[in-house]
Structure 1
Amino acid sequence: MTRRLSILASLLLATAFSPAHAATYGPELQGFSYPHPVRHYKFASQGQQLQMAYMDVAPTAKANGKTAVLMHGKSFCGATRDSQITALRGAGCRVIAPDQIGFAPPANRPLPIHLQQLAANTAGLLKQAGVERAVLVAHSTGGMLATRHALMYMYPQAVSQLVMVNPIGLEDWKALGVPCRRWINGTSAHSN
Structure 2
Amino acid sequence: MTGPEYLEHIAQLLLQYGIIQKVTAEMKRHAGEELHRHATGSYLQRWEVSSACLLETLRHFLPEAPQRLVWFDAEMDDSAYEDLVRRFAAATSGEWSPEQVEYSVNADKNVGDFHCTLDVDVRGAAIHGEWTTPSLKWVANDFLDLIEHIAQTHLSGGFVAIPMHDQTMLFAYLPHSCVRDLAALLDLLEHQYPDFVTFAHTF
TM-score by length of 1: 0.24
More helix by share: 2
Q: Which has the higher contact order (CA 8 A, sep 6+)?
A: 2
TM-score by length of 2: 0.23
